[in-house]
Amino acid sequence: MTTLHDTAVRGFASDNYSGVHPRILDAIARANGGHQISYGEDQYTEALGQVAHDVFGEEAAIFPVFNGTGANVTALQSLLPRWGAVICATTAHINVDENGAPERVGGFKLLQVATPDGKLTPELIDQEAWGFGDEHRAQPLAVSITQATELGTLYSPEEIKAITEHAHKLGMKVHLDGSRLSNAAASLGVPLRALTTDAGVDIVSLGGTKNGILLGEGILTLRKELAEDMKYLRKMNMQLGSKMRFISAQLIELYGTGLWRELASHSNLMAAKLSEAVEQIDGVELVYPTQANGVFAQLPTEVSDELRKHFRFYDWDRAAGEVRWMCSFDTTEQDVAAFIAKLRELMNAHLAA
């Protein structure tokens, strides 16, 4: 098959737009050939178990799945009885971007809390952590946080620990949506376990596709009792891969070698450069601090629409003129420079009109 797309085209819409890192492709190729037992009884998935122990601790286990929505729904299901509910930020991916899957497929209610920066706190959690024992109210039995948040902000290890300690005292468990966990850890300069195991998190949706892999995510359980039933939930939610070795091989290469930090650090650096340059352009304002690989800005809608003809990106709040620009592991300084040059040209023309 011939290449059907222009490989020179770059955008800032999503870190899912990028391709696959060469080392990940090589890991897939090395896992190919011959026969391996299907559905996770292969040598690569077994080796992934050791990676989980080495990176996250002795109780950790990684269950490969197909996608982030499947990881979130299945992970949260594992924490809840049928009458359980999940406290989350209003901006959370599970609330905004998963088309009702948590509630329709997962069968649990989401209890939303408005936040100024995408981050929950013990005090904000308490807005919905009530009604325990009331048969008329879905029981708040889990908290879900996102690291990095949907607004590009970060929780410190201490902030996560404060949440987990508070939640556990109330009888709730804590889920961390870690689709960009690598970006958060790289930005904060801490190991992955500092934001998960050591901070008291119970279960994690472990990202992959936003940081250079082809297909797959992981459900990371950090309590042995949560791992016991996960294989049944994974199958029930249609997240069990038959040729699992190829997902596991990618996760081994990403998390078992430190590649996660290299790729995340680069995308964070490109976002920092983009953010710094944006601050020098009249008429464009940053909306949230740039702490990971996302830049949130406010500018005239007509400028955004014209800029989008050259570089793809998404509106965040169109009514407010807010947009989101994401950098990827393969974003280059030349990509950032070209984007900034076009943005400056369009803004200057707009201001002069």
The predicted-structure confidence for 267-292, as pLDDT tens digits, reads as follows: 999 999 999 999 999 999 999 999 99
Q: Helices 259-278 and 181-188, interaxial angle, to 10°?
A: 80
Report how many domains make up the chain. Answer: 2
What pLDDT was estimated at residue 226? 96
- Same domain? For 135 and 145 the reply is yes
Q: Which two tokens stand for residue 187?
A: 């930005």
263 DSSP β-pair partners: none
**In the chain, where do the E strands start and end?**
61-65, 84-89, 109-113, 139-146, 173-178, 203-206, 217-221, 285-286, 294-298, 314-317, 322-326
The predicted-structure confidence for 24-75, as pLDDT tens digits, reads as follows: 999 999 999 999 999 999 999 999 999 999 999 999 999 999 999 999 999 9
- Same domain? For 151 and 227 the reply is yes
Exposure string for 269-296, b = 16+ CB within 10 A, e = fewer:
bbbbbbbebbeebeebeebbebbbbbbb
- Same domain? For 108 and 118 the reply is yes
Q: Are 268 and 335 in contact (CB under 8 A)?
A: no
Select from 248, 303, 250, 259 the least CA-distant residue to 281. 303
* Residue tagged 């890192």 (tokens): 21
CATH number, domain of 146, equals 3.40.640.10
User: What percent of the chain is modeled with pLDDT above 90?
Assistant: 98
Q: Is the pLDDT of residue 10 over 90?
A: no
What pLDDT was estimated at residue 141? 98
What average pLDDT does this structure show over 338-348?
97
What pLDDT was estimated at residue 342? 97
The predicted-structure confidence for 125-145, as pLDDT tens digits, reads as follows: 999 999 999 999 999 999 999
- Same domain? For 51 and 182 the reply is yes
Note whether residue 173 is domain-resident: yes
- pLDDT tier, 232 (very low <50, low <70, confident <90, very high otherwise): very high
Distance from C-alpha of 330 to C-alpha of 306, rounded to nearest angstrom: 24
CATH number, domain of 308, equals 3.90.1150.10
- Same domain? For 229 and 283 the reply is no
Whether the model pTM is above 0.85? yes
Range of the domain at 265: 260-352
Q: Are 216 and 243 in contact (CB under 8 A)?
A: no
The predicted-structure confidence for 290-342, as pLDDT tens digits, reads as follows: 999 999 999 999 999 999 999 999 999 999 999 999 999 999 999 999 999 99
- Same domain? For 159 and 65 the reply is yes
- Same domain? For 129 and 228 the reply is yes
Q: Are 110 and 84 in contact (CB under 8 A)?
A: no
- Same domain? For 286 and 243 the reply is no
